[in-house]
Each structure stands twice: as structure tokens, then as C-alpha cells.
Amino acid sequence: MAAAVIALTTVFVTADDRLQGETKSVLHKTELVNLLGFVIDIITNIINVIADGLVIWRCYIVCGRRLSVVTVLIALLVIGTALGWVVFIFDIRGYKIRMGAPLSELPAPHNFIWSGYVITYSNIGFWTASALINLLATIFMGEWVSSHLCTATFDPQECLRLPDLASVC
């Protein structure tokens, strides 16, 4: 919720682009947008760790407290969290580089483009890891529940047979 409020604040702050050049107002607006971006990065990382951690915990409990089932999910959580913090660190690095240079400076500082690539690919890795955690946890839990529910309530051979649709109609 807080990240959404900050994101909306960022949008409304940057919506007025009538001010051109390097005025004090433009500099203040740019600095505010960058600072709000840092806060969004921190909140996103913390919320993602909590949410994906709870998904992993639920998968661990549903799958009979077997650590072997959630080992890959834990590794993905660690990798995704590390990539999220890489984004935050490079955002700060980029902010410090831009803070010392005037807005009208045309050439980008040394390694600035490389930092942009690192941020982009780290963001992609962060969200991919989160999506994989949720996808794999859903598959693991669904497979576990369906296999145990089927063998506990029915004959295993009957579970493999498809229902006869003609008898239903």
C-alpha cells in the first residue's frame, strides 16, 4: 500500500513538465523522484521477501514439512532478494553520479550505461524469481495434495481412470 502511494506521488510530481532547463524547481523535482524511487525499491524488496517467504512456508507445511521440496524455492528467494538489493544499490550509485553533474551535461558519466543494464537485468531477474517461486509452489502443493487426497480416499487404480461422461449425462 505504501509503495502504491509513493508511486502515485511520484507520478503526480513528475506530471507537470512545463518547467524546462535547470531551474531550482526542476532539480528539486528530479531529486524527489529519485528519492521516492529508493523508498519504492526498499518497500518492494521487503514486501516480496515476506510474501514469497509465506508462500514457501505454506508449501513446506502442505507438502509434509519436507525440506527437499522447498530447497529450490528458498534458493530462488535468496537469488531474487539479492537481485532486488542490487537494483537498490545501483539506483543509489546512479543517483550519486547524477547528483554531482548538472542536468544539461550531455555525455553520460563513465559506466552509467552499464549501471542501467545491470538495473534492468536485475529487475527482470528479481520478478522472474518471484514468479517462479509462486508457480513452482503452486505446482508442488497441487501435486502433493492431489496425490495424497487421491490415494487416501480412493483406490489408486480408480484415480487414474477417467470418468465415463455418458453415465453422467
pLDDT averaged over the chain?
Answer: 78
Mean local confidence (pLDDT), 106-117? 64
Task: Tell whether the torsion through CA atoms of 98, 99, 101 and 102 is positive or negative.
Answer: positive
pLDDT band at 168 (very low <50, low <70, confident <90, very high): very low
CA distances from 130 to 100, 135, 149 (A): 35, 9, 28
Q: Mean pLDDT over residues 75-103, rounded?
A: 85
**Which tens digits make up the pLDDT trace of 122-152?**
999 999 999 999 999 999 998 888 777 666 5
Compute the half-sphere exposure of residue 114: CA atoms within 13 Å on the CB side of its CA.
Answer: 5
pTM above 0.85, yes or no: no
Contacts of 93 (CB under 8 A, 6+ apart): 115
Q: Look at residue 165 in the predicted model and tell me its pLDDT.
A: 46
Locus of grid cell 502442505 = 62
Q: Following CA atoms 54, 56, 61, 64 in sequence, which dihedral angle do they give, to the nearest 10 degrees? A: 180
Residue 156 has pLDDT above 60, yes or no: no
